[in-house]
Amino acid sequence: MTKPTVSLAQMLENFGDDRELIAQVADVFLDDYAPQLAKLDAALATQDMVQIQAMAHGIKGSVGNFGALEAVDAARAVELACKNQDMAAVRERIPVLNALVEGVARALREQLPHL
């Protein structure tokens, strides 16, 4: 797995070149991502496919704001596995998604001082 990255160019495009808004949205993401991943893991423990799919969809949108395409793809893969009722694939893909989201958080922390 490659190091997850965020794309400053994509963030600027997504947020209309508003660096202050990027920083605000990134701060919210950094405050919220760990509890979201914990909820995702709890939904996995109870095999709640509806909740997992909804959370993966939300994560996909969040990381997409930052141009984190690898994490977007991982979230999409979890969504698809849920849609197909493939719990084995969900179990396999959630740790990958979690790691990529953690990587997005690290990349954002590195980028924030430069915005």
| Closest residue by Cα to residue 98 from 38, 31, 47, 42 | 38
CB 3 within 8 A of CB 105: no
CA distance 49 to 31: 25
Q: Is the dihedral of CA 91, 92, 93, 94 positive or negative?
A: positive
Query: Which amino acid does the sequence have at 89?
Result: A
Domains of the chain, start order: 8-114 (1.20.120.160)
One pLDDT digit (tens) per residue for the chain, 115 residues: 455 589 888 999 999 999 999 999 999 999 999 999 999 999 999 999 999 999 999 999 999 999 999 999 999 999 999 999 999 999 999 999 999 999 999 999 998 888 8
